[in-house]
Amino acid sequence: MDLTLITESVPKILSGIGITFQLMLLSAILGLILAVILLLMRLSGKWYLSWPAQIHIYIFRGTPILVQIFIIYYGLPQFEFVRDSIFWPILREPFGCAVVALTLNTGAYVCEILRGGVLGVDHGILEAGSALGLSAQQKFIYLTTPIAARIALPAYSNDFISLMKATSLASTITLMDMTGIARTIVAQTFAPYEIFISLAIIYMILTWVIQKTFGRIEKYLSHYVNP
């Protein structure tokens, strides 16, 4: 075990944390928006909205995320219409491809998590809303959303951690996130053991921070369960 190698390489690896964070936060935000859209499509009760959402979820939960990244990065540019489209500036860059892949993937998972939350809302509460004259939209905004959010949060925080770890796959399409940098250092130093252990520890610390943060949010949202 070469300690100086570790102390030298950790700062280098950390210089990629910005990319890791950008991938994580962008995909998490866009993925959450996508998940809500997919959820509304699924709950619409209209087959022409519900089916596309279910097909999307089926595809992105049914295939490895690494394969999805490869298809988007290597596969899509083969098509003339992709290169001519307004999305080309995004899909031309590995960063854009990684964000697109992670967003589509996490959106599918989070949609199912949110759906679990919505289905977990006590039916009687919604009936009370109806009886008081609230419209379907008002019930969704003021009753379903806040209650479902609390139910879904623990599962959502797990998905968020999965997403954080999945950002490391972006290194396979040349991105210099923390994993990408670590791989470069290994290629130069031939010391995979020290470098990858250091990298693993950094990811573990990140996971810990995310867990703590979500724990706080959960506690806040649950104030009415354990006041």
Partner 1 sequence: MTDTLIKMQNVDKFFGDFQALKNINLEVKRGERIVICGPSGSGKSTLIRCINRLEKHNNGHIFIAGKELTDQVKDIDAVRREVGMVFQSFNLFPHMTIVKNLMLAQRLVRKIKKPEAHKTAMHFLERVKIAEQADKYPVQLSGGQQQRVAIARALCMKPEIILFDEPTSALDPEMINEVLEVMTDLAKEGMTMICVTHEMGFARSVADRIIFMDEGEIVEEAVPEEFFDNPKNERTKQFLSQILTH
CA atoms of 30 and 90, how far apart (whole Å): 14
Residues 70-99 close enough to bind partner 1 by CB under 8 A: none
| Residue 114 interacting with partner 1 (CB under 8 A) | no
| Residue 45 interacting with partner 1 (CB under 8 A) | no
Site string for partner 1, 206-225 (x = CB under 8 A): -----------------xxx
Q: Indicate the Cα dihedral angle 200, 206, 211, 216, nearest 10°.
A: 160
CB of 157 to partner 1, least distance (A): 19
Given the rule CB under 8 A, which of 26-34, 77-85, 141-149, 178-186 is the region that contacts partner 1? 141-149
Which listed residue (138, 158, 184, 207) binds partner 1 by CB under 8 A?
138
CB closer to partner 1, 107 vs 129: 129
Q: Which of 180, 161, 192 is nearest to 24 (CA)?
A: 161
- DSSP for 4-65? HHHHHHHHHHHTTHHHHHHHHHHHHHHHHHHHHHHHHHHHT--HHHHHHHHHHHHHHHHS-H
Q: What type of residue is 98?
A: A
CA atoms of 112 and 159, how far apart (whole Å): 11
| Residue 130 interacting with partner 1 (CB under 8 A) | yes
Cβ of 58: how many Cβ atoms within 10 Å?
11
| Residue 150 interacting with partner 1 (CB under 8 A) | yes
CB of 127 to partner 1, least distance (A): 6
Given the rule CB under 8 A, which of 5-13, 59-67, 86-94, 146-154 is the region that contacts partner 1? 146-154
CB of 221 to partner 1, least distance (A): 8
Question: How many chain residues interact with partner 1 (CB under 8 A)?
Answer: 22
| Residue 64 interacting with partner 1 (CB under 8 A) | no
CB closer to partner 1, 150 vs 183: 150
CA atoms of 97 and 20, how far apart (whole Å): 14
CA distances from 146 to 15, 33, 117, 171, 199 (A): 38, 16, 10, 37, 37
Structure tokens at 36: 């809500």
Q: Are 114 and 86 in contact (CB under 8 A)?
A: no
| Residue 131 interacting with partner 1 (CB under 8 A) | yes
Binding region for partner 1 (CB under 8 A):
122, 124-125, 127-135, 138, 142-143, 146-147, 150, 223-225, 227
